[in-house]
């Protein structure tokens, strides 16, 4: 997500902060800013756009005097990319400057109560409430104000805090977002990520959840939220810059696969309040939902595969007919669309040319449009009637993983939300699905912890020339994504088939030893799937089954198996996709492929 840097020492802070931010540029961002205490007040300079714009504005930092400061590169979540929404954010009093990485879930209610207390806000961000809250609670004891502030905010955060009244220090604190402290000589640092400080020191503290670091030039003291001193052991980093950027993983794709529990949690959790789904972000009324004659889902690539999952889910739970279209097809096929149609557009980048054109076509035909987008302020987000953002953070690997998973999460939220509004889901079912949604990030984490077994299977199969994926209904949708992931990054020929359809032609390609990955996660279709497994085994296939952990009898039919935790049927795709991503990753890695930048592919396809 966003990048944080903080410095306190004897040197001019601003150039050091800018250098640190440069090292975080690889993460992606839309604006940047710094705050430095100049001896009398906190000076803040922030600019939308590349870091270079900020660097030029302050002459690489030379314009800002002062030896203590904080800096930030922002990836927008709340509020579009702009100078005013960029961090650091100042309290109205000018006493506090804050940089933040994460999402404050209850910022709206906090903002309203602060407005009633006379505070005024200048940005659309969730972060600004933190600066104001610190000011509200500050009575001369900085640590106390920090503790009282974090007692009020809900969500995820890594924070860098600068206080005009105590300008010899910066504060770093984290919950569900990373933050480290860099330990120098006569100078110390905070950063959201190791590359930012590698040019200065290799000794760090890793802050644990809710630990508060008081960082001064002569030393760093760490406290727990009860203000009790915590003894920390420094950790020495011997990664090079490239390994550090990837958090120690070999590839961004591996890092992003492992970020999925957090990405899904960040996407779901702010939208469930007191056991209810709250979609503050959309204007779609209950009446409009009740009047819908049809839903279209339009997207490209993996986002289209989310659409295929969504069709099964939305139709099943809302009973509204759903059509899924590849964007490049939708725009030229004269779809039957009018003002009783909702067109859902799914796009990580928000800039895919065909998807954007399809959105415009849908609007021209009079449909209501709702987009599910990761990049705030992107063209698709700007032009849709409603937007639900996936808060996956920047995704660097071309092959999508965490954005895909957060798109699925939004589909569950939307399906449950619509079904509840139009009365196709009973209250007890609603409660059940909410609790399953809340448990999902932990189950994703548990599934990922089994990745070593997937790695072993990849070792067994990575020399394959063809790999087939089969499944029914939701498992068919997962087959599409598993197969795409594999061919994108490993260049192995692969096809995905609805399991019952294979025998109508493609089964002729199955030979002795061909690997077939059979997805059988849905209990009611398990026996049917075993029938299809028998069909391919009779033609010589080697079968890798994927099912839930209570279905171990699958190995009577298959040659090997991967198990995922149990969850409700609707949410099985979120778990089933994980071993498929990992399988593709390990196979590509064993083949020595350029995993993060596969040949012929682009992260964002902005041409037709
Ligand atoms: C490209 C990427 C895919 C992505 C597709 C749609 O083909 O390589 O990973 O799924 O575009 O991109 P979007 O940004 O619209 O989700």
Query: And the tokens for 257?
Result: 């696969």
**Predicted local distance difference test score (pLDDT) of residue 505:** 86
Residues with CB under 6 A from ligand 1: 300-303, 347-349, 352, 355, 398, 400, 601, 603-605
Domains of the chain: 3-245 (3.60.20.10), 254-445 (3.40.50.10490), 450-591 (3.40.50.10490)
Mutate to test the pocket of ligand 1, among 297, 400, 403 (most ligand atoms within 8 A of CB): 400
Ligand 1 atom closest to Cα of residue 403:
16
**Predicted local distance difference test score (pLDDT) of residue 26:** 82
Active-site hit among 273, 503, 528, 603: 603
Interval 83-101 mean pLDDT: 97
Residues above pLDDT 90, as percent of the chain:
88
pLDDT at 520 over 70: yes
pLDDT at 341 over 90: yes
**Predicted local distance difference test score (pLDDT) of residue 569:** 96
Q: Are 4 and 192 in contact (CB under 8 A)?
A: yes
pLDDT at 608 over 80: no
pLDDT at 503 over 90: no
* Ligand 1 center from residue 355 Cα (angstroms): 10
Ligand 1 atom closest to Cα of residue 407:
16
* pTM recorded for the entire structure: 0.86
Specify whether 163 is catalytic: no
Mean pLDDT of the chain: 95
* Ligand 1 center from residue 366 Cα (angstroms): 26
Give the Cα separation of 25 and 14 in Å (integer).
16
Q: Which of 317, 295, 290, 320 has the alpha carbon at shortest distance from 307?
A: 295
**Predicted local distance difference test score (pLDDT) of residue 1:** 61
Cα angle: 80, vertex 85, 88; to 5 degrees? 145
Give the Cα separation of 188 and 30 in Å (integer).
27
**Predicted local distance difference test score (pLDDT) of residue 606:** 74
The residue that leads in pLDDT, 353 or 424, is 424
Give the Cα separation of 412 and 569 in Å (integer).
11
Interval 43-54 mean pLDDT: 96
**Predicted local distance difference test score (pLDDT) of residue 602:** 82
pLDDT at 243 over 90: no
The residue that leads in pLDDT, 503 or 137, is 137
Active-site hit among 2, 163, 300, 593: 2
For residue 12, cis peptide bond before it (omega within 30 degrees of 0):
no
* 318 torsion bin: left (phi>0), alpha (psi -120 to 50), beta (else): alpha
Q: Which residues pair with 493 in a beta bridge?
A: 466
Q: Which of 141, 143, 161 has the alpha carbon at shortest distance from 151?
A: 143
Least confident of 12-16, 162-166, 502-506: 502-506
State pLDDT tens for residues 528-567: 999 999 999 999 999 999 999 999 999 999 999 999 999 9
Least confident of 197-201, 223-227, 374-378: 374-378
Burial of 206 (0-12, 13-18, 19+ CB in 10 A): middle
State pLDDT tens for residues 484-493: 999 999 999 9
State pLDDT tens for residues 359-407: 999 999 999 999 999 988 888 999 999 999 999 988 999 999 999 999 9
**Predicted local distance difference test score (pLDDT) of residue 239:** 80
User: 279: helix, coil or strand?
Assistant: coil
* Ligand 1 center from residue 348 Cα (angstroms): 7
pLDDT at 151 over 90: yes
Interval 446-475 mean pLDDT: 97
Q: Ligand 1 atom 3: the closest Cα is on which residue?
A: 301
* Ligand 1 center from residue 302 Cα (angstroms): 6
Q: Are 369 and 362 in contact (CB under 8 A)?
A: yes
pLDDT band (50, 70, 90) for residue 2: confident
* Ligand 1 center from residue 101 Cα (angstroms): 25
Interval 575-593 mean pLDDT: 98
pLDDT at 413 over 90: yes
Interval 192-198 mean pLDDT: 90
pLDDT at 183 over 80: yes
Give the Cα separation of 74 and 82 in Å (integer).
10
pLDDT at 49 over 80: yes
Give the Cα separation of 581 and 399 in Å (integer).
9
């Amino acid at each position: 997500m966003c990048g944080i840097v903080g410095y306190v020492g004897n040197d001019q802070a601003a150039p050091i902060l800018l250098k640190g931010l440069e090292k975080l540029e690889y993460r992606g961002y839309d604006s940047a800013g710094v705050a430095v205490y100049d001896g009398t007040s906190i000076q803040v300079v922030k600019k939308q756009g590349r870091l270079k714009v900020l660097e030029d504005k302050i002459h690489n930092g030379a314009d800002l005097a002062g030896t203590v400061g904080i800096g930030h590169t922002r990836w927008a979540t709340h509020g579009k990319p702009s100078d005013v929404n960029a961090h650091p954010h100042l309290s109205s009093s000018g006493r506090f400057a804050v940089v933040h990485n994460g999402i404050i879930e209850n910022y709206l209610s906090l903002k309203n109560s602060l407005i009633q207390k006379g505070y005024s806000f200048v940005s659309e961000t969730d972060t600004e409430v933190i600066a104001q809250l610190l000011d509200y609670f500050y009575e001369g004891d900085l640590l106390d104000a920090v503790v009282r502030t974090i007692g009020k905010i809900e969500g995820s955060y890594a924070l860098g805090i600068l206080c005009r009244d105590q300008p010899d220090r910066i504060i770093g604190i984290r919950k569900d977002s990373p933050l480290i402290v860099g330990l120098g000589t006569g100078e110390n640092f905070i950063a959201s990520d190791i590359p930012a400080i590698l040019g200065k020191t290799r000794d760090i503290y890793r802050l644990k959840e809710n630990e508060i670091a008081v960082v001064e030039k002569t030393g760093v003291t760490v406290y727990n939220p009860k203000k009790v001193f915590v003894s920390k052991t420094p950790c020495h980093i011997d990664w090079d810059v490239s390994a550090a950027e990837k958090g120690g993983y070999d590839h961004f794709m591996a890092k992003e696969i492992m970020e999925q529990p957090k990405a899904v949690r960040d996407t779901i959790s702010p939208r469930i309040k007191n056991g209810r789904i709250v979609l503050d972000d959309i204007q779609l009324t209950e009446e409009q939902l009740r009047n819908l004659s049809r839903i279209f889902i339009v997207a490209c690539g993996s986002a289209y595969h989310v659409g295929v999952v969504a069709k099964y889910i939305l139709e099943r739970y809302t009973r509204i007919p759903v059509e899924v279209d590849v964007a490049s097809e939708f725009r030229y096929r004269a779809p039957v669309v009018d003002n009783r149609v909702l067109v859902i557009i799914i796009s990580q980048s928000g800039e895919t040319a065909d998807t954007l054109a399809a959105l415009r076509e849908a609007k021209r035909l009079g449909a209501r449009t709702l987009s599910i987008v990761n990049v705030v302020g992107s063209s698709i987000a700007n032009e849709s009637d409603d937007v639900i953002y996936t808060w996956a953070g920047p995704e660097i690997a071309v092959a999508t993983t965490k954005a895909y998973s957060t798109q699925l999460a939004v589909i569950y939220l939307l399906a449950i939300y619509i079904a509840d509004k139009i009365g196709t889901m009973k209250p007890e079912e609603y409660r059940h699905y909410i609790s399953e949604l809340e448990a999902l990030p932990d189950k994703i984490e548990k599934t990922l912890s089994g990745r070593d077994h997937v790695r072993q299977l990849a070792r067994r199969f990575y020399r394959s020339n063809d790999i087939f994926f089969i499944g029914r209904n939701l498992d068919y949708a997962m087959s599409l994504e598993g197969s795409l992931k594999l061919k994108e990054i490993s260049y192995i020929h692969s096809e995905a088939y609805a399991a019952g359809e294979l025998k109508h032609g493609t089964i002729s390609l199955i030979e002795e030893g061909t690997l077939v990955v059979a997805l059988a996660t849905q209990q009611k279709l398990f026996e049917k799937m075993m029938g299809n497994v028998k069909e391919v085994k009779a033609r010589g296939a080697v079968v890798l089954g994927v099912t839930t952990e209570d279905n171990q009898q699958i190995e009577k039919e298959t040659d090997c198996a991967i198990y995922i935790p149990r969850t409700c049927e609707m949410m099985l795709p979120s778990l089933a996709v994980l071993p498929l991503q990992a399988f593709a990753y390990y196979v590509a890695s064993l083949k020595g492929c350029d995993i993060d930048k596969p040949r012929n592919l682009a992260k964002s396809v902005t041409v037709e």
